[in-house]
Amino acid sequence: MSDPLTPVLTKRWLSPNSWRLSTYEQLEGYTALRKALRGTPEQLVQLVKDSGLRGRGGAGFPAGVKWSFMPPNEDKPHYLVINADEGEPGTCKDIPLMMADPHSLIEGCIIAAYAMRSHHCFIYVRGEALHPYRRLNAAVREAYRAGYLGRDILGSGFDLDITVHAGAGAYICGEETALLDSLEGRRGQPRLKPPFPAAAGLYAAPTTVNNVETIASVPFIVNGGADWFRKMGREKSPGPKIYSISGHVEKPGQYEAPLGTTLRELLELCGGMKDGIPLKFWTPGGSSTPMFTAEHLDIPLDFEGAAEAGSMLGTTAVQVFNETVSVPWAVMKWTKFYEHESCGKCTPCREGTYWLAQILERMVEGRGTAEDIDTLLDVCDNILGRSFCALGDGAVSPITSGIKYFRDEFLALCESNKRELVGAQA
Residue 419 exposed, middle or buried by CB count within 10 Å (0-12, 13-18, 19+): exposed
Please check whether residue 320 is in contact with residue 282, taking contact to mean a CB–CB distance below 8 angstroms.
yes
DSSP codes joined into one string, 150-217: BSSGGGSS--BEEEEEE----GGGGSHHHHHHHHTTS---PPPSSSPHHHH-GGGS-EEEEEHHHHHH
Please name each of the domains of the chain with its CATH number.
21-230 (3.40.50.11540), 240-322 (3.10.20.600), 327-425 (1.20.1440.230)
- Rounded-to-integer distance, Cα 132 and Cα 11, Å: 18
Distances (CA, A) of 412 to 213, 379, 409: 42, 21, 5
Say whether 3 sits in a helix, a strand or coil: coil
Question: Which string of b and e fits 22-40 if b means at least 16 CB within 10 Å?
Answer: ebbeeeebbebbeebbeee
Closest by CA to 232, choosing from 10, 50, 3, 60, is 3
Backbone angles phi, psi at 411, to 5 degrees: -65, -35
Q: What pLDDT sits at residue 186?
A: 94
Q: How many CB atoms lie within 10 A of CB 134?
A: 14
Residue 181 CB-half CA count within 13 A: 16
Residue 98 CB-half CA count within 13 A: 30
- Rounded-to-integer distance, Cα 379 and Cα 353, Å: 9
Q: What pLDDT sits at residue 417?
A: 60
Please check whether residue 64 is in contact with residue 107, taking contact to mean a CB–CB distance below 8 angstroms.
no
Per-residue pLDDT of the chain (426 residues; tens, 9 = 90+): 445 678 999 999 999 999 999 999 999 999 999 999 999 999 999 999 999 999 998 888 999 999 999 998 888 999 999 999 998 889 999 999 999 999 999 999 999 999 999 999 999 999 899 999 999 999 999 999 999 999 999 999 999 999 999 998 899 999 999 999 999 999 999 999 999 999 999 999 999 999 999 999 999 999 999 999 999 999 999 999 999 999 999 999 999 999 999 999 999 999 999 999 999 999 999 999 999 999 999 999 999 999 999 999 999 999 999 999 999 999 999 999 999 999 999 999 999 999 999 999 999 998 899 899 999 999 999 999 999 999 999 999 999 999 999 999 999 988 756 555 455 554
- Rounded-to-integer distance, Cα 396 and Cα 348, Å: 11
Backbone angles phi, psi at 346, to 5 degrees: -115, 150
Which residues, other chains included, contact 187 with Cβ-Cβ below 8 Å and sequence gap of 6+?
A: 181, 343
The count of residues in the chain is 426
Q: What pLDDT sits at residue 419?
A: 58
The pTM of the full predicted model, rounded to 2 decimals, is 0.93
- As beta bridge partners, residue 163 has 122
- Rounded-to-integer distance, Cα 172 and Cα 58, Å: 14
